[in-house]
Amino acid sequence: MKIAIAQLNYRIADFEGNLNLMKNAIRDAEKEEVDLIVFSELAVCGYPPLDLLEQRDFIDKCSESIRLLTECTSKVAVIVGAPVINPNEKGKKLYNAAFLLSEKKVLAIRNKTLLPTYDIFDEYRYFEKNIEFNIVKFKGVSIALTICEDIWDDQPVENTFSRTRLYTISPMDFLAKQNPDIMINISASPFAANRLNAREEVLKQNVAKYGIPLFYCNQVGANTELIFDGSSMVLDRNGIIDRLTPFTEEVRSYVLENLMSPANTGAIEFESNLSDEYRTEMMYKALVFGIKDYFRKMGFNRAILGLSGGMDSALTLVLAVEALGCENVMPVMMPSRFSSDHSITDSLELAANLGVTCKRIPVDPMMDSFLSQLVPEFEGKAEDVTEENLQARIRGVILMALANKLNMILLNTSNKSEAAVGYATLYGDMNGGLSVLGDVYKTEVYDIARYINRNREVIPYNILEKAPSAELRPNQKDSDSLPVYEVLDPILYHYIEMKDPIAAIVESGFQREVVERVISLVNRSEYKRFQTPPILRISSKAFGMGRRMPIVARY
């Protein structure tokens, strides 16, 4: 039997477009005499559809897509994910289902059992869990057909007190009793740079435990803040046999009998590369991919951003140019009396290196106008952060005006470290339609910049070497207000990603006073993060939909 994995980029609610993607893959599979082609979780509607699942018309269109896809299966059978209505009177309205279609018929439907309700996932909001376990048979092959989380029952749980297992049952344990020949798992598993090996380990554990090959089909593509890298895989008892290219649409086919042959020795060259450089490279590719897909799926092709001469805006510009092309990105310098000369020259050098045209709009005249109008209200009051924030908000107004007039999306350039501790100005440098670096710590920003400069100087070395500064007052440095990033970022990682308490962070080698101050800043800044644009998610715990905190809590 010949099985193909189709790693495709679906758009949420684009039923016609998604169906055409799959039809094209089926036609190509027919030419290669493929018996069965596998598409990913909820492929007909895109993942995650969120509250669109509560609209009957949306579900009807999903059902119609399945009907139309069934008509294409006279030569090649299809496994595909779609929501299906729960026929029972009790329970949620829908199941998250995998369909087996062949010879213009629905041969089988298998529903998802383990419904994740952590981080960005909230599937139990929409779906009823499966309680029946049966293999499916196709051309004499018994298939354990599962959906994404169903093979993650034994995953390691990060710092949830003493709990080591998230789920109480294992779907594959039930299916294994029926002696399947292979496992097929359709998935929508997002990218996370700090867990690059977790997915591979879960797949390997399943193959080792059940002793049969595994075909893993993951979707590729970015849907708002979620970035799906694909990285679909085929595994047997020897480990990873093949891995599809990350962040790339691709279809590959495999002869099942070759995988199951005792003479097959596998291909160990597909073992994980977990070096720091590889992780940085994957972060870079994920961010570029996230920008490109966001613009494409939103129907925009041009971006604008403020270029300050600092590291964050420099990196955002490089990523945007790589994603959209130099002709589609407009950097705008908005110097004030506090801007250093090298910030301007560094920005111009960067723009020249990238082949972009940089606009220059000084903010001092507008700042003076604002202050003159506010004299009666500010009289007798010393200058403070108000004047600093006013500069940032003037810049935000300029960028939004240009974005509106020129039909562009404004890219936000704030990093995760700043967002964590509130070191950003609402309605100023927090403006934007998409936050590019909002899930990238400052130290990681420098790592990615050095990766970009690995072969030639793209980002001027002066930007890399100078002390970070908002340049909103004379001789200002970030370290005047915050711990140095080499100290700040590990504390933030312990608190945000690992969910460690203060005592545990202190025990890992940080001063209690510093830890308490940092965590206080994080907790007090929730109201700011609540108003940020969508953040490209490249870690296991990004701000936004994956981290839900009360704004008015006293904690």
H, E, C per residue of 387-407:
HHHHHHHHHHHHHHHHHHHHC
Is 250 in the active site?
no
Place 183 in a pLDDT band, splitting at 50, 70 and 90.
very high
For every residue of 455-496, DSSP letters joined together read SS-SS-HHHHHSPP---SSTT--GGGTS--HHHHHHHHHHHH
Over residues 515-524, the mean pLDDT reads: 96
Distant-in-sequence, close-in-space partners of 448: CB < 8 Å, separation ≥ 6: 280, 283, 284, 287, 315, 440
Over residues 429-441, the mean pLDDT reads: 96
Q: Please check whether residue 391 is in contact with residue 361, taking contact to mean a CB–CB distance below 8 angstroms.
A: no
pLDDT over 90 for what percent of the chain? 84
Tens digit of pLDDT for each residue in 58-78? Answer: 999 999 999 999 999 999 999
Burial class (CB in 10 A: 0-12, 13-18, 19+), 235: buried
Over residues 171-175, the mean pLDDT reads: 97
Per this entry, what is the length of the chain? 555
Burial class (CB in 10 A: 0-12, 13-18, 19+), 336: middle
Angle in degrees, CA 475, 476, 478, rounded to 5: 145
Over residues 333-346, the mean pLDDT reads: 86
Distant-in-sequence, close-in-space partners of 454: CB < 8 Å, separation ≥ 6: none
One-letter amino acid at 372 equals S
pLDDT at 429 over 60: yes
Dihedral sign computed on CA atoms, order 203, 209, 210, 211: positive
Q: Please check whether residue 407 is in contact with residue 250, taking contact to mean a CB–CB distance below 8 angstroms.
A: no
**Cα separation, 236 vs 372, whole angstroms:** 73
Q: Please check whether residue 295 is in contact with residue 303, taking contact to mean a CB–CB distance below 8 angstroms.
A: yes
* Phi, then psi, of 102 in degrees rounded to 5: -160, 140
**Cα separation, 290 vs 225, whole angstroms:** 8
pLDDT at 101 over 90: yes
Residues paired with residue 84 on neighbouring β-strands, in sequence order: 95
User: What is the model's pLDDT at position 481?
Assistant: 78
Q: List the structure tokens of 483.
A: 């711990």
Distant-in-sequence, close-in-space partners of 167: CB < 8 Å, separation ≥ 6: 114, 152, 153
Is 54 in the active site?
no
* Phi, then psi, of 220 in degrees rounded to 5: -120, 155
One-letter amino acid at 16 equals E
CATH superfamily of 2-273: Carbon-nitrogen hydrolase (3.60.110.10)
Over residues 267-293, the mean pLDDT reads: 83
pLDDT at 349 over 70: yes
Tens digit of pLDDT for each residue in 485-514? Answer: 999 999 999 999 999 999 999 999 999 999
- State how far Cα 470 lies from the chain centre: 27
Q: Would the pTM count as exceeding 0.85?
A: yes
Of the residues 45, 62, 72, 148, only one is catalytic, namely 148
Q: Please check whether residue 190 is in contact with residue 236, taking contact to mean a CB–CB distance below 8 angstroms.
A: no
Between residues 350 and 195, the one the model is more confident about: 350
User: What is the model's pLDDT at position 271?
Assistant: 47
pLDDT, the chain, mean: 93
Tens digit of pLDDT for each residue in 360-386? Answer: 999 999 999 999 999 999 999 999 999
Q: From the options 3.30.1390.20, 3.20.20.70, 3.40.50.620, 1.10.10.10, give the CATH code of 280-482+525-529.
A: 3.40.50.620
Over residues 181-199, the mean pLDDT reads: 94
Over residues 109-133, the mean pLDDT reads: 94
One-letter amino acid at 373 equals Q
pLDDT at 551 over 50: yes
Distant-in-sequence, close-in-space partners of 38: CB < 8 Å, separation ≥ 6: 3, 4, 5, 6, 78, 79, 80, 184, 186, 215, 217
User: What is the model's pLDDT at position 368?
Assistant: 95
Distant-in-sequence, close-in-space partners of 419: CB < 8 Å, separation ≥ 6: 435, 438, 525, 528, 529, 532, 535, 543
**Cα separation, 125 vs 293, whole angstroms:** 27
pLDDT at 8 over 90: yes
Tens digit of pLDDT for each residue in 220-236? Answer: 999 999 999 999 999 99
Q: List the structure tokens of 57.
A: 């018309």
**Cα separation, 177 vs 161, whole angstroms:** 33
User: What is the model's pLDDT at position 268?
Assistant: 45
Specify the 3-state DSSP secondary structure of 63. Answer: helix
**Listed residue (374, 345, 376, 382) closest to 360, CA to CA:** 345
**Cα separation, 29 vs 72, whole angstroms:** 11
User: What is the model's pLDDT at position 548?
Assistant: 86
Domain-wise residue ranges, the chain: 2-273, 280-482+525-529
**Cα separation, 524 vs 518, whole angstroms:** 10
Distant-in-sequence, close-in-space partners of 131: CB < 8 Å, separation ≥ 6: 113
Of the residues 45, 62, 72, 112, only one is catalytic, namely 112
Place 158 in a pLDDT band, splitting at 50, 70 and 90.
low
Is 148 in the active site?
yes
Q: List the structure tokens of 20.
A: 């055409």
Over residues 154-158, the mean pLDDT reads: 66
Q: How would you label 349-362 residue by residue, b for 16+ Cβ within 10 Å and e otherwise?
A: bbbebbebebeebe
Q: Please check whether residue 540 is in contact with residue 189, taking contact to mean a CB–CB distance below 8 angstroms.
A: no
Residue 399 CB: number of other CB atoms within 10 A?
Answer: 25
Q: List the structure tokens of 533.
A: 């644009």
Place 258 in a pLDDT band, splitting at 50, 70 and 90.
confident
Number of continuous H segments (helices) and E segments (strands) in the chain: 18, 19
Of the residues 41, 444, 497, 526, only one is catalytic, namely 41
User: What is the model's pLDDT at position 89?
Assistant: 87
Q: Please check whether residue 406 is in contact with residue 357, taking contact to mean a CB–CB distance below 8 angstroms.
A: no
User: What is the model's pLDDT at position 257?
Assistant: 87
**Cα separation, 224 vs 405, whole angstroms:** 23
Place 470 in a pLDDT band, splitting at 50, 70 and 90.
low
**Listed residue (366, 369, 303) closest to 332, CA to CA:** 303
**Cα separation, 469 vs 454, whole angstroms:** 25
- Bridge-based pairing of strands 77-85 and 36-38 is parallel
For every residue of 85-103, DSSP letters joined together read E--SSSS-SEEEEEEEEET
pLDDT at 344 over 70: yes
**Cα separation, 47 vs 39, whole angstroms:** 12
